[in-house]
């Protein structure tokens, strides 16, 4: 049996005396002493003796050094010089994320202990009562990643050490190859192969072959929609993808893994038929065959083909992953980390994947900030069921804004091994590249029907 401390015996005796005496002042004194005990409990044991570090402010920093809107959260603390950075990039709707951070999260967090990340995540998640969507999740992710960054800095360790330490030498990545013709695409694939990449995503003319369609769509001729609305001929796309795989396999060989993203742009049954035709070319994975509105089709797909599938980029809540992973209906977990709320929820999905042998493939294009790429990479290094990481090569402007950007060698991503996430921000440089509000992505069929996503 646990022995009670002398202090708790005294408190109990005092409380009994006060209650029996019915003294109002005494009862108030009891509450004060409870409060002070609660205060003591908020300091974790490992930090005993260290001064408590509190959050001073939470604010958004927006920048677009490569054109894409990037939003980063900076958490300043009561310890001079100690701050954390987290990615909150929802590039298509950056402005409301900034408002969620500056107007709500700052107020919610100021004065709280930097140590209790899980508690902070859980409390912020329900503080709006209505559960988070992409705007609030991105704000929350910025806070969550920044607190991991701070914890790493306080522990004097890179974040992957706090997640369990390294499972592998570096982060194996895939590169994006695209070309408007099979020949141009093959050339690009060969360039990445020569750089040492073992995994290459192949897209001909972008998603759905946009821009390479054979005819002017009927909706444009009829003056329907806007001038900049894009057009996709789904049948041309469905025909071209197997031809593309055939050409690239013949031209670039078997000693490379090929990936492709459907981007949810065709009818579900057409996607199934096309994926079946890709079997002879042994894709590493086919991404996003269906939109989140069509999840019921996964069971039909699985019954028809063993081609590996990646899914999850558009999911908001980690509960959306659960049943499909438990039933092993896809093979790779696509997650835009900031979209689901940061490292804390992503680790839960990754661990769930280990139970069912579903591997990670975090989203990592240019609309994830270098801080977000670092968050991806720290998890990639630490979880057993890592699959592959999407790569992005930062230009010089972005590297000047974000000192400590990831580097690549022989198809692997290497992170800055400094304590925390390892990526800093130069706010003076960031201010040179203001964000824009563009993003009115509209894609239509020939008759004008909107194509999802």
* CB 392, min distance to Mg ion, A: 13
Nearer to Mg ion, 148 or 207 (CB): 207
Q: Which of 176, 199, 260, 263 is catalytic?
A: 263
CB atoms within 10 A of CB 243: 12
**Is residue 65 packed enough to be buried (19+ CB in 10 Å), middle (13-18) or exposed (0-12)?**
buried
Strands 83-87 and 70-77: antiparallel
- Comparing CB distances to Mg ion, the nearer of 149 and 313 is 313
Q: Which is nearer to Mg ion, 238 or 368 (CB)?
A: 368
Compute CA 365 distance to the chain's CA centroid, rounded to the nearest angstrom: 10
CA 119 to chain centre: 20
Taking the C-alpha atoms of residue 126 and residue 137, their distance in angstroms, rounded to an integer, is 11
First-to-final CA distance of the chain: 59
Minimum CB distance to Mg ion, residue 264 (Å):
9
Q: How far is the CB of 314 from Mg ion (least distance, A)?
A: 9
Would you say 127 or 439 has its CB closer to Mg ion? 439
Residue 208 CB, nearest distance to Mg ion (Å)?
A: 12
In whole angstroms, how close is the CB of 287 to Mg ion at the nearest point?
5
Q: Least Å distance between CB 365 and Mg ion?
A: 8
Q: Are 400 and 438 in contact (CB under 8 A)?
A: no
Closest to Mg ion by CB, 88 or 335: 335
Element (H, E) at 213: none
Give min distance, CB of 153 to Mg ion, in A: 32
Which is nearest to 331 in space by CA: 253, 275, 406? 275
Structure tokens at 74: 């900076």
**What does the alpha-carbon distance between residue 285 and residue 32 come to, in Å, rounded to a whole number?**
60
Q: Between 252 and 314, whose beta carbon lies closer to Mg ion?
A: 314
Set 125, 174, 207, 237: catalytic member:
207
The answer to whether 60 and 98 are in contact (CB under 8 A) is yes
Q: Say whether 263 is catalytic.
A: yes
* Closer to Mg ion by Cβ: residue 55 or 278: 278
Q: Is 174 a catalytic residue?
A: no
| Burial environment of residue 337 by CB neighbours within 10 A (0 to 12, 13 to 18, 19 or more) | buried
Residues in contact with Mg ion by the rule CB under 5 A: 261, 313
Residue nearest to Mg ion (CB): 261
Residue 367 CA, distance from chain mean position: 10
Q: What's the rounded Cα separation, in Å, for the pair 393 and 192?
A: 12
Bond preceding residue 453 cis, omega within 30 of 0:
yes
Residue 137 beta carbon to Mg ion: minimum distance, rounded to whole angstroms? 18
Of 145 and 261, nearer to Mg ion (C-beta) is 261
Under a CB-based contact definition with an 8 Å cutoff, are residues 340 and 141 in contact? yes
| Residue 317 CB contacts under 8 Å (≥ 6 apart), including other chains | 131, 132, 340
Name residue, tokens 């209505």.
130
Residues with catalytic function: 207, 263
């Amino acid at each position: 049996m646990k022995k009670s401390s002398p202090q708790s015996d005294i408190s109990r005796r005092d409380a009994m005396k006060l209650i029996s005496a019915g003294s109002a002042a005494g009862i108030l004194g009891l509450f004060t002493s409870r409060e002070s005990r609660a205060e003591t409990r908020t300091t974790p044991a490992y930090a005993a003796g260290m001064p408590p570090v509190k959050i001073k402010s939470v604010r958004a920093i927006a920048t677009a050094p490569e054109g894409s809107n990037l939003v980063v959260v900076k958490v300043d603390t009561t310890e001079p010089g100690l701050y954390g950075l987290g990615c909150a990039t929802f590039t298509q709707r950056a402005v409301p994320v900034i408002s969620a951070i500056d107007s709500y999260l700052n107020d919610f967090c100021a004065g709280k202990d930097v140590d209790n990340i899980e508690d902070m995540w859980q409390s912020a998640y329900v503080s709006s009562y209505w559960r988070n969507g992409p705007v609030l999740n991105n704000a929350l992710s910025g806070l969550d990643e920044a607190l991991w960054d701070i914890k790493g800095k306080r522990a004097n360790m890179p974040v992957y050490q706090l997640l369990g330490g390294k499972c592998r030498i570096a982060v194996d990545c895939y590169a994006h190859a695209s070309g408007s013709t099979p020949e141009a695409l093959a050339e690009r694939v060969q360039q990445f192969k020569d750089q040492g990449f073992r995994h290459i995503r192949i897209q001909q003319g972008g998603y759905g072959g946009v821009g390479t369609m054979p005819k002017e769509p009927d909706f444009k001729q009829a003056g329907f929609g806007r001038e900049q609305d894009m057009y996709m001929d789904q049948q041309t796309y469905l025909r071209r993808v197997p031809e593309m795989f055939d050409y690239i396999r013949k031209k670039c060989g078997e000693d490379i893994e090929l990936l492709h993203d459907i981007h949810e742009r065709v009818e579900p049954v057409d996607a199934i038929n096309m994926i079946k035709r890709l079997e002879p070319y042994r894709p590493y994975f086919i991404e996003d065959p269906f939109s989140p509105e069509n999840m019921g089709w996964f069971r039909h797909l699985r019954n028809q083909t063993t081609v590996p599938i990646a899914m999850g980029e558009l999911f908001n809540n980690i509960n959306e992953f659960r049943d499909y992973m438990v039933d092993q209906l896809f093979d790779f977990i696509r997650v835009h980390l900031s979209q689901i709320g940061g490292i804390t929820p992503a680790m839960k999905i990754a661990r769930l994947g280990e139970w069912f042998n579903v591997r990670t493939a975090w989203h990592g294009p240019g609309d994830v900030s270098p801080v977000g790429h670092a968050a991806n990479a720290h998890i990639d290094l630490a979880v057993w069921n890592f699959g592959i990481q999407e790569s992005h090569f930062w230009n010089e402007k972005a590297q000047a804004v974000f000192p400590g950007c990831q580097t690549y060698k022989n198809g692997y991503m290497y992170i800055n091994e400094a304590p925390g996430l390892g990526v800093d921000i130069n706010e003076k440089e960031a201010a040179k590249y203001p964000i824009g509000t563009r993003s009115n992505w509209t894609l239509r069929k020939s008759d004008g029907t909107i194509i999802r996503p």
